[in-house]
Amino acid sequence: MNRISSFFGTAVYSEAPEIVVSPGSVDMGTIGFDTTATYHIAVMNSGSDTLNILLLTSSNPEFIVSGGCFALAPGTYDYVSVGYASGDIEAADSTSISIASDDDDESLVDVPVRIQVSDLSGVAGDIEAPAGLFLRQNHPNPFRRRTTISFGVSRGSAIDLSIYSIHGRLVSRVLDGAPTAAGVHNIEFAAEDLPPGIYYCRLSAGGEVVSRRMVILN
């Protein structure tokens, strides 16, 4: 949006970039031994002038941030990728991703990131067998037409996966009591028929319910 300054009591509008980062924090979930995980953080320019991303850093060198320096025209977005490669030791790890830009009002944005490493399968390379039920943040997010929803169950279950509007109205039933084997599953969700806005992805099985926020762009 335009920044406003005052000059002798008269509002003066000036063009300026404005950074928006989504999500504001990242939970990469639980991964097994000797596994590589990647998450994409959306960086948007909601201002009226070009936004320049000047520097990307990670406070923990175990997390690799990529995307480099880039410029965003007003109303556009791009992604910063965060990668993590696990070893063979159970651990909870975290970092802070710093995104520096030429937004005068918010020149540095910090995004906390966390991940859990666990012996999920007992054999490196086998499918993950998560404890209970979990739902990862869809990626990309925000998105325009299609996104990938990842979830996991510890045992075979009947799964319900639904999309709700911010007002709680059911807008899409992706899975309706579908028999699902134990492990991690990925589903591509098409949102061509949904208007832009904030939605919630709701996963339920065996009395457990988890949800994630999704953002659809124009």
pLDDT tens-digit map of 159-201? 999 999 888 889 999 999 989 888 888 899 999 889 998 899 9
> Residues 196, 176, 211, 84: is their CA dihedral positive or negative?
negative
| Identity at 55, one-letter amino acid code | L
pLDDT at 119: 65
**Sequence spans of domains, the chain:** 17-117, 133-216
The confidence band for 154, taking pLDDT boundaries of 50, 70 and 90, is: confident
CA pair distance 5, 14, nearest whole angstrom: 8
Classify domain 17-117 at the CATH class level: mainly beta
pLDDT tens-digit map of 11-46? 444 589 999 998 888 888 777 777 778 788 888 898
* Most distant CA atoms of the chain, gap in Å: 71
Half-sphere exposure in the Cβ direction for 165 (13 Å, CA): 9
Whole-number average pLDDT of the chain: 82
Render the burial of 7-16: b for 16+ CB within 10 Å, e for the rest. eeeeeeeeeb
> Residue 123 pLDDT more than 50?
no
State pTM to two decimals: 0.56
pLDDT tens-digit map of 64-92? 998 778 999 998 888 888 888 888 788 89
- Domain 133-216, second-level architecture: Sandwich (2.60)
Asked, colleague to colleague, whether 17-117 and 133-216 share their fold, the answer is yes
